[in-house]
Structures are given as C-alpha cells and as structure tokens.
Structure 1
Amino acid sequence: MRSPRFWSVPGHPAARLLAPVGHAYGTLTAARMDRAGARAPCPVLCLGNFTLGGAGKTPTALELARMLRELGASPAFLSRGYGGRLAGPVRVDAGRHGAAEVGDEPLLLARLAPTIVSRDRPAGARACAAGGADVVVMDDGLQNPSLAKDLSFAVVDAGAGIGNGLPFPAGPLRAPLARQWRHVAGLVLVGEGAPGEAVAAEAAGRGLPVHRARLVPEDAWAGRRILAFAGIGRPDKFFETLRAAGADVLATRAFPDHHPYSGADLAHLAAQARRLEADLVTTEKDAVRLPKSHPARTLAVRLVFDDAGAVGAQLAPLLRR
C-alpha cells in the first residue's frame, strides 16, 4: 500500500475522522501483542517496526545476522513471506522460488543465510532450528504474539518517524506507541531526521538504547544520469540515498510497497529512460520482482551502525541462552 499523505500531518481532518476506528484497531493489536507466545528451540531475535510500511528492517536483519556470525552463531532468517503464495514452512531457494512464491524480502535474506518462510511462526522457528540454526532472526513480526522473542529491536526510519502518532487507519502506527515500547529492548534509528529524533528521545527517556545507523551504497554513483524507481515503504528514502551518493537523478517514479510490476509499467519506464538518456535504477528489493532479463541496475546498500560494539553487547546474551 502507499501511505496517505495525511498520516504525516498532525491534526489533519481525515485523521480526526478516522481516529475512533484507529483507537479500536490499535487497542485490539496492543492486547494481541501482550499474549504469551510459544518458545522456540533456540533464541529468537525480532526486527520489527512500530508502523505500517518500510523502515529498513531487511538491511538491519542482514547486518545483525552478520554480527551474530562474527560472535560465533549460526543464524537463520524467519519471514512470513509477505506477497508470496507459499504458506510454508519452506526453505527459500533462489534457484526455484521467485517473489510470487516467497515474497521479495526472503529472496534477499537467503543470499546471506538459510531463510524459512512460514505464516505459522512457531513452526517456522522449529524449521530454522532443525536446519542447524542456533539463533532465529525474524524479519518483522513484532506485533505477532505467536512466537516468544528473546530480544526485539524496533527499526525506525528517521525521516518518517511515527508520522502523526495515530494507529491505523488514522495514522501509520500498528498499535499505540506507549503499548509497543514494552515489547522492545532497543531502537535502531536509520538515517537522519527530526521525526526520528523525537522517537529516539522517547526511547532514551525510557532507558532503552538507541542504535544509530545509516544505509551506505556499496558502489560508486557520482555523475550517473538516472531514472530511479521503487516500490518500497518510503521510495523517497531511496531517491535521497542516490542523490547523496552523487547520482544525477533526472526523474523518479514511486510505486506502492511490494508493487508487482506489469509489462506496461516496465515499458513506460524504459521509454522514459530512453527519452532522458538515463539508466534505470531500482532497489534490490524491487529487482527480485522484475524479469531476470530486465536491464535496471540496482542500488546495493549496507546498513552501518555508528557504534557496532553497543549492538554486539546486546546480541551477545542470545548466544548464552
């Protein structure tokens, strides 16, 4: 879905109109989060976000899995496989599966470590352990109570924060923020921006560590003429990353998150790129939803923590459970 603009505008009439529905939805979600979940055979690390839409969970999950490996662990990823048709549990195989079967994020995660897609989270965790994992890394699932978590981080896009601070559909929150804090042990703040700083200040006030991070391009983009397109939670963040890397972004196209690109979409993008004499560039997450023969280049990024040592100190107890 594409976030409505009023989600970022405090006091907007549409938000006020929908506030009673949002209150009911948020209250039910918060009560659901408080339920006790099943224990997995090994520790569970959960990366979630307070809001609907993207915040940088997948790059965060990848970097934390790398850190767990450096600590001597054998992590596996567990994902619901949003957008895919397979209920699982199934181990993702990039040679056999596409985004239509398992979703886009799992295809990216599977490049680094074994990845299980399962709508039944406890069954998925058992499949991770059966495959040799000694830590399960959940990409999303903070609001899903079916599986008990040993450590949960909330990932927040600093440029977006929590929007107007109201629960869906009046705003982007999945549940009232005050009710969600009790389920996280730290905040991962990605990028810079006043909206995120407000969330960071509240986390610090609650005694929670704030782990600041940024997305760093892995390739050189300075001076390249680009038509950038993306169907992610906040496409503007992708466009900003390209500009910050020195790319000459001549035009942009934003699609809804997890958008299934049609032939007409791709033909229109190609025609516009030819007129501009520009290269088509998209995200890694979008790229796995494109035909393998599509000529779009991808912006590969890696999440870098300002203080990796502080993050590692929170991860280390998982290995001693």
Structure 2
Amino acid sequence: MPAPPAFWSRPPDRPGWAARLLAPLGRLYAAGTRRRLSGGRYHDPGVPVVCVGNLSVGGTGKTPTVIALMMHLTSQGWTPHVVTRGYGGRLDGPVRVDPHAHDAGDTGDEPLLIAAFGPVWVSKDRAAGADAAVAAGANIILLDDGFQNPDLKKSLSILVVDARRGFGNGRCLPAGPLREPVEVGVGRADILLAIGTDAERAALVETWPALGALPSVDGRITPLRTGMDWADMRVLAFAGIGHPEKFFDTLRGLGVDLAGTRALSDHAELTPALLRRLQADAAALGAQLVTTEKDAVRLPASMRGQVLTLPVRLEGPDWAVVDGRLPRPPVS
C-alpha cells in the first residue's frame, strides 16, 4: 500500500481542494461498502465472534490490539483463534498459519506476527476460516480487520482508533482515509478503543462527537522492555507500516541517535535491492539497522541477525467492558 496523500491528514473543516475534487468518488466508495454490508451472509460459526477493526486504512494499532486481546481472553479461560484475510499473502485458505513452515509471502506479515502468540487462520472467506478454527478447537473467534466484512455474524465489534490521527479529513476513499463515514461505522460498533494520551483521546471525541456514545477502552502503544539499552545507539531506522513516523518517534523517545530514517509503503516488499541499499546506507552512516516487528517477519533469514527489532505492545486497557459483553467461557 503506497504512502497516503498528505491531504488525507488535513482537518475535517479544511479538507483541501483535492479532497473536494475527489468527494464524488468517496461517496461512491461509501455506497459500495453499504451495499456489501447489506448483502452479507453473516454466517454464525456457533461461537462468539469478536471483531477488531477500524474505519481508516493504515496503521491504527489494530495488530497490537489483537495480540493483547488474544492474551487476555486466554487468561480468562477462552481458547481464541484469530481469523484474518492475510493482506498481501498468496494463500486463499482457510489455512492455519505455521511460523515454521510459512513466510510472509504465504500469509502476509501481520498473521505471521500474531501467530507467535496463538492460533491464526488465513482465509479470504472469513466464514470458512471461522468454521475451520472451530473445528480445530476454538471456542471464540477474533476477527482481525473485518469491521466492513459481512461474512460473519459478530457478537462484539471493537473500533480501534489512533487518537492522535483520528479520522483525518473525514472523507471516504480516495478523498480521505475512511472506508465508510464515521457516523455510519460508529453505529455498528460496540466498544471504542482509542489509543493515545488522555489529551489526544479528549480531542478525538471533541472532533468526532459520535464516538462519545460508545463505551470506551483506553490504551497506549509502548515499547516492550527487553533489556536492550537503546540510549545513544546510532541507528538507521526503516519501517513499512501504516504510519512509519510513529515508529521513528518511538525510537526518539528511547533516546537513540537517529542517524537516518527510511519510510516505506505499508507492507512494502523487502527486495534484495532495497536491503542492499539499506545495508550500504547504514554502513556509510556508521549505524545499526532497526525496524518494526511487522517488517522483521518479512526479512529473509540471512538478514535477521543484522537488523534489530523494536517490539511494541498495547498497554493499559481494562478489558472488563469486553468481558461484560461476552458469555462466560465454556468449562473444558
């Protein structure tokens, strides 16, 4: 996915001429989403389905949310399996992700990353993926990025929002970053997870008052403590995520000597030519290559010992509001 245009990030009350020019196409896109949802199958797999999704394209913190929620549900006695489309992967599925047998080219990078924490199924047909997961022992499904997908009947939908970025200019693709209008999407959501500081979350609800009607869970993305001393380390950072600058800001917050940054498109292919260029740039700068967990799973095995990874996790959410809307986990 290429880098989003700058006008997507403009304030809703000043979207700019490009957004206004593309607004008719945005309305067509929103109408297409509405038609797809109205004609869905909404298959019931016989177990609760918790959807973790968003309204915007690009990084909102959805993958760390899925990982954190999977770990929480497991601690509560559930046996969660994740079902996901597997963006960028070759497999149609349903296929259970095997980190020892699959690579990011097979499954996409996010499923491979999540599979380190629990069972993940890649399936273009989410209903078939959910049925396969239940047959393999799942008693609850985590639907990754399926908020606008009508294949499955959802028991609970969690809307994940980057509180700092919000919904950009509030327009639908290609006029803005949205898959559907905010008011429409909020009407189908059950819980808001706003990731950011208290001030950022307050500003988000002030700008988008419809969010105030949703029960909310607060969280923040923080670096995982691994014992690595990042202070004053001279690094060249690269990232192919929705918003690479968030990763670079995290490194700055850790006190690294950021010699250079390379912002790649989301899910960018790490070709041999690109990796050679990154290695040459790092050598010229006298810097250590550093990347995200999501990018690291796309690295060839020969490069993984040469690139440091900064893992991040979702911290702070009180999942009681989620637990209160689910049945008790079945006794095994």
Indicate whether the TM-score tops 0.5: yes
Cα distance change on mapping 1:57 and 1:181 into 2, 3 Å: same
User: Which of 171, 175, 186 is residue 166 of structure 1 equivalent to?
Assistant: 171
Cα distance change on mapping 1:204 and 1:12 into 2, 3 Å: closer
Deviation at residue 308 of structure 1 after TM alignment: 4.3
Query: How far apart, CA to CA, are the structure 1 residues paired with 2:223 and 2:196?
Result: 13
Match of 1:106 in 2: 111
Note the residue ranges of structure 1 that are not aligned, 5 or more in a row: none
* 1:189-235 deviation line (CA, Å, top 9, x unaligned): 12248775444344676421221111121234222211110001111
Query: How far apart, CA to CA, are the structure 2 residues paired with 1:51 and 1:276?
Result: 36
2:89 is equivalent to residue 84 of structure 1: yes
Match of 1:31 in 2: 35
Cα distance change on mapping 1:187 and 1:95 into 2, 3 Å: same
User: Which of 131, 135, 141 is residue 136 of structure 1 equivalent to?
Assistant: 141
2:267 is equivalent to residue 258 of structure 1: yes
* 1:5-61 deviation line (CA, Å, top 9, x unaligned): 111123211111000110111122133234451111211111111011121111000
Deviation at residue 312 of structure 1 after TM alignment: 4.0
Cα distance change on mapping 1:135 and 1:200 into 2, 3 Å: farther
Describe how 1:1-321 pairs up with structure 2 within 5 A: 1=1, 2-9=3-10, 10-36=14-40, 37-192=42-197, 197-201=202-206, 202=208, 206-218=212-224, 219=226, 220=228, 221-294=230-303, 295-314=306-325, 316-317=326-327, 319=329
Query: How far apart, CA to CA, are the structure 1 residues paired with 2:209 and 2:131?
Result: 32
Query: How far apart, CA to CA, are the structure 2 residues paired with 1:102 and 1:205?
Result: 33
Query: How far apart, CA to CA, are the structure 2 residues paired with 1:193 and 1:51?
Result: 21
1:280 maps to amino acid: L
Query: How far apart, CA to CA, are the structure 1 residues paired with 2:49 and 2:209?
Result: 22
* 1:91-121 deviation line (CA, Å, top 9, x unaligned): 1111111111111011111111111100001
Query: How far apart, CA to CA, are the structure 2 residues paired with 1:262 and 1:170?
Result: 31
Aligned partners of 2:186 and 2:210 also within 8 Å: no
Aligned length: 319
Cα distance change on mapping 1:198 and 1:23 into 2, 3 Å: farther
TM-score scaled by structure 2?
Answer: 0.91
SS of the residue corresponding to residue 153 of structure 1 reads strand
Aligned partners of 1:27 and 1:176 also within 8 Å: no
Query: How far apart, CA to CA, are the structure 1 residues paired with 2:219 and 2:130?
Result: 27
Note the residue ranges of structure 2 that are not aligned, 5 or more in a row: none
Aligned partners of 1:159 and 1:196 also within 8 Å: yes
SS of the residue corresponding to residue 319 of structure 1 reads coil
SS of the residue corresponding to residue 298 of structure 1 reads strand
> Mean alpha-carbon deviation: is it higher for 252-261 or for 240-249?
240-249
SS of the residue corresponding to residue 317 of structure 1 reads coil
* 1:96-155 deviation line (CA, Å, top 9, x unaligned): 111111110111111111111000010000011011010111110100111111111111
* 1:227-263 deviation line (CA, Å, top 9, x unaligned): 1100011111111111122222221110110000111
Query: How far apart, CA to CA, are the structure 2 residues paired with 1:260 and 1:247?
Result: 26
TM-score scaled by structure 1?
Answer: 0.94
Query: How far apart, CA to CA, are the structure 1 residues paired with 2:106 and 2:24?
Result: 37
Cα distance change on mapping 1:309 and 1:223 into 2, 3 Å: farther
SS of the residue corresponding to residue 73 of structure 1 reads coil
Query: How far apart, CA to CA, are the structure 2 residues paired with 1:301 and 1:310?
Result: 23
Query: How far apart, CA to CA, are the structure 1 residues paired with 2:170 and 2:68?
Result: 28
Query: How far apart, CA to CA, are the structure 2 residues paired with 1:102 and 1:3?
Result: 24
Aligned partners of 1:161 and 1:196 also within 8 Å: no
Aligned partners of 1:228 and 1:252 also within 8 Å: yes
Deviation at residue 172 of structure 1 after TM alignment: 0.3
* 1:60-117 deviation line (CA, Å, top 9, x unaligned): 0000011101111000111101100110000111111111111101111111111110
Aligned partners of 1:163 and 1:195 also within 8 Å: no
